[in-house]
Amino acid sequence: MINYESVELGALCIHHVGNKAREEDLVIAESQVTLQDEVLYKHLLKYFFHNFKKPEFYHFNEDQDSVGPHPIINTVKKVFETPETLFDGSIKIAEYLYDIQDNANIKSGDLMVAYFDNILVDDEMVNAIGIFKSENKDTFLRIKAQARTFSINYDQGMHLEKLDKGCLILNTEQDQGFKICLVDKQNEGGIASFWKDHFLQLKVRSDDYSFTSNFIQMTKSFVKDRLEPLYETDKLDEAGILNRSQQFFENHETIDQTTYAEEIFKDEDVIQTFQEYKKDYEVENNLEIGDNFNVSIPALKNKSKIFKSVLKLDKNFHVYIHGDRDKIERGQDEYGRKFYKIYYDKEE
């Protein structure tokens, strides 16, 4: 887990990165930002850290670039060794981001590179480098009062709780590609992974949080992508499987793939299909899902919505199935109208 309560902002650099494919400019600052306003300082910390809520870690994927060394990691290592080089390092990062933006759909924006001290990570106090990109501006109103005369105008700026893109590179486990937290608001036009995969070149760390999160997501995808077409399952079947899966995770401290598959799917053919799907899923999504791992409670809570199924009945009703599959039945009356019968103990 990460604790930001004692964090200090040591230095901040800002550059403007246009879209090279649209022949926009890269504007490099002459010096780093000087911060003297305490209120502004607090607002900046809120902007930088408010969106890093998920305890999910990544690391630099140094194997991805076969041409040469990772384009960012060497700069980061140098800054950690000599924090005074942050400004020069921020220029290299801005230039690299500008050079690789070969898609005209990628938004231009302000790139901020910051150095932080005193971030607590799993009982270890570390420093960190933050890379943030602000792409979207909010319009806000400004009211001024002079005596009894009021005027109103508008301006544009960054919303303190809406960080578009960012990462925190924590100065720990350097030999494993560092511990890195990520924020990447999804874009349209097929470029949602540009920040993570192309620019930063990150990969999810192989730990209990990622194993738990990915295993739950993989089960949901398996039901949709493989079970439904092969075995003609419906929403009630899906609800039953997801309900058993949720109970399994909640009642076990560790997950064993074989035991899990046997209890959730029961049928030998389905179990084998599930195991084959897991291998395909890992390859297609470039990730590792352990066969045996400890259940991560934060990951389980974060993925809780996946266990819920929704029955969309024409345009009239949405039935949310949160639990016991046996308390809902499907049927058809003598007039050919389809119906669901729901059993319950009390109305709230």
Question: Would you list the domain boundaries of the chain?
Answer: 2-205, 209-342
Residue 169 has pLDDT above 80, yes or no: yes
- Percent of the chain's residues with pLDDT above 70: 95
The pLDDT of 28-51, averaged and rounded, is: 92
Distances (CA, A) of 190 to 104, 109, 193, 196: 12, 19, 8, 13
Q: Tens of pLDDT along 96-152? A: 999 998 888 889 999 999 999 999 988 889 999 999 999 988 888 989 888 889 899
Residue 65 has pLDDT above 50, yes or no: no
Residue 77 has pLDDT above 90, yes or no: yes
Angle at 221 between CA 217 and CA 223, to 5 degrees: 120
Q: Tens of pLDDT along 156-167? A: 888 888 889 999
Q: Which of 191, 189, 192, 171 shows the shortest CA–CA distance to 181?
A: 171
- Percent of the chain's residues with pLDDT above 90: 47
Decide: 169 and 178 in contact? Cβ < 8 Å: yes
The pLDDT of 202-213, averaged and rounded, is: 89
Residue 67 has pLDDT above 60, yes or no: no
Q: Tens of pLDDT along 219-233? A: 999 998 888 888 877
Residue 72 has pLDDT above 70, yes or no: yes
The pLDDT of 81-105, averaged and rounded, is: 94
Task: Determine the straight-line distance between the first and last CA of the chain, rounded to whole angstroms.
Answer: 36
Describe the chain by its helix, strand, coil percentages, rounded to 5: 40, 30, 35
Q: Which of 327, 329, 348, 332 shows the shortest CA–CA distance to 340?
A: 329
Chain Cα centroid distance, residue 321: 26
Decide: 311 and 330 in contact? Cβ < 8 Å: no
Residue 189 has pLDDT above 50, yes or no: no
The pLDDT of 201-222, averaged and rounded, is: 90
Residues 6+ apart with CB under 8 A from 299: 55, 56, 208, 209, 210, 212, 213, 216
Q: Specify the pLDDT at position 161.
A: 84
Half-sphere exposure of 308 (CA within 13 A, CB side): 11
Q: Specify the pLDDT at position 59.
A: 92
Q: Specify the pLDDT at position 186.
A: 61
Segments in the chain forming alpha helices (H): 38-49, 73-81, 86-100, 208-222, 228-231, 235-251, 257-265, 268-284, 297-302
* Average pLDDT of the chain to the nearest whole number: 87
The DSSP annotation for 185-227 comes to ---SSS-TTIIIIIII-EEE--SHHHHHHHHHHHHHHHIIIII
The pLDDT of 51-67, averaged and rounded, is: 74
The pLDDT of 5-28, averaged and rounded, is: 94
Q: Specify the pLDDT at position 125.
A: 93
Residue 66 has pLDDT above 60, yes or no: no
Q: Specify the pLDDT at position 68.
A: 61
Q: Tens of pLDDT along 255-289? A: 999 999 999 998 899 999 999 999 999 988 878 88
Residue 308 has pLDDT above 60, yes or no: yes
Q: Specify the pLDDT at position 285.
A: 82
